[in-house]
Amino acid sequence: MPHNPDVKELYEQIATISPNLKAGILAEALPHIRRFQGKTIVIKYGGNAMTDKYLQECFARDVVLLKLVGMQPIVVHGGGPQIDNALTRLGKKGEFIQGMRVTDKDTMGIVEAVLGGQVQGEIVGLINHAGGAAVGLSGRDGHLIQVKKMFLQDIKDASIQHDIGQVGEVTKINPAAVTALINGGFIPVISPIGSDEQNQSYNINADVVAGELARTLNAEKLVMLTNIKGVLDKDGTLLTHLNTGTIDALVADGTLSGGMLPKISSALDAAKSGVNSVHIIDGRVPHCLLLEILTDAGVGTMISN
Ligand SMILES: Nc1ncnc2c1ncn2[C@@H]1O[C@H](COP(=O)(O)OP(=O)(O)O)[C@@H](O)[C@H]1O
Ligand SMILES: CC(=O)N[C@@H](CCC(=O)OP(=O)(O)O)C(=O)O
């Protein structure tokens, strides 16, 4: 039984489910396990989805379970709120343009320390504690993520290019280190940091890294865990399915903003490049990964081209 009182009720409910029902639920997973055997699943673990200890443990157990039933999960983690907390402690305030952090030299140092140190170490530890063998990588390791400096095109006026400092635009992914780890039975956990030809470090939005990696590896699935039910319309209603046409309209009328902008464009790019299924799901739901991958329940928003 977990210590968190918020989930005590959930466990009490589970305890009342009949054995037959439990067996039925487990059996529902079989066709999904068969379908995704050996397939690459890229999981974007957003910083907003990793703030609760119990949910973190659920996440780690889900990733290990997926690996043990024969899938190849790869975790790309964020950590935006954790970077914000570190900046606040130092008397600085995080600034974002269209969901991208304005990253000066000092901020870059903090981004590297928080993502590559604190956040990644925690996720690797949790997965290992849950029985997996996770290995943390930065996009700098093994030349994994090559970038050039990004100039961000303004969403309303294409003639404006925002200089947002040390933020990288991905030019190439060299997945050899990731595939070597997967082939060795490990679960790669990747932080969104890249380097350019001058060996300079760059901050990259984690949604962008997850999308680019899923494309490069021809992943079967890209699942993005965030802190909201999925993509919502102007009235706050969940949009269960989106494609190019509907997304363009939602961007144009301002329904999508902030952190949802890089998320949705990365999701759409991945779907267009042949990633079979792309989902934005609610990371606040315990075992949301198992629900999305191993059951018939549809959760969150599915994005297709
Ligand atoms: N139309 C929308 N539907 C859902 N969320 C939206 C929408 N527009 C903006 N958002 C914001 O995007 C946020 C998710 O992006 P972000 O904060 O970057 O999360 P993460 O850390 O998971 O990447 C939501 O919490 C919400 O505030
Ligand atoms: C350029 C840029 O915006 N980088 C992000 C990297 C972390 C991230 O993407 O974290 P979430 O997934 O939790 O939002 C940042 O500095 O916040």
Residue type, 230: G
Whether residue 14 lies inside any domain: the answer is no
Which segments are annotated as binding site? 79-80, 101, 203
Whether residue 30 lies inside any domain: the answer is no
Whether residue 61 lies inside any domain: the answer is yes
Which segments are annotated as binding site for substrate? 79-80, 101, 203
Closest-lying ligand 2 atom to the alpha carbon of residue 100: 3
Any idea which residue has 């404006």 for tokens?
160
Residue bearing the CA closest to ligand 2, atom 10: 78
What distance in angstroms lies between residue 105's CA and the mean position of ligand 1's atoms?
A: 26
Local confidence pLDDT in tens for the 305 residues of the chain:
445 555 667 777 778 888 888 888 889 899 999 999 999 999 999 999 998 999 999 999 999 999 999 999 999 999 999 999 999 999 999 999 999 999 999 999 999 999 999 999 999 999 999 999 999 999 999 999 999 999 999 988 989 999 999 999 999 999 999 999 999 999 999 999 999 999 999 999 999 999 999 999 999 999 999 999 999 999 999 999 999 889 999 999 999 999 999 999 999 999 999 999 999 999 999 999 999 999 888 789 999 98
pLDDT of residue 175: 97
pLDDT of residue 1: 44
ipTM of this complex prediction, to 2 decimal places = 0.98
What is the domain-level CATH number for residue 209? 3.40.1160.10
Count of domains observed in the chain: 1
pTM of the entire structure?
Answer: 0.95
Q: What does each C-alpha distance from 303 to 77, 194, 201 come to in angstroms?
A: 20, 26, 31
pLDDT of residue 5: 53
Whether residue 88 lies inside any domain: the answer is yes
Torsion angles phi and psi, residue 41, rounded to 5: -120, 115
**Ligand 1 site-directed mutation target among 82, 227, 241, most atoms within 8 Å of CB:** 227
**Ligand 2 site-directed mutation target among 101, 105, 106, most atoms within 8 Å of CB:** 101
Give the separation between CA 94 and CA 86, rounded to whole angstroms. Answer: 10
Whether residue 142 lies inside any domain: the answer is yes
Give the separation between CA 284 and CA 286, rounded to whole angstroms. Answer: 6
Whether residue 26 lies inside any domain: the answer is no
Residue bearing the CA closest to ligand 2, atom 6: 205
Closest-lying ligand 1 atom to the alpha carbon of residue 234: 1
Whether residue 55 lies inside any domain: the answer is yes
Domain that holds residue 191: 37-303
Residue bearing the CA closest to ligand 1, atom 23: 46
Whether residue 167 lies inside any domain: the answer is yes
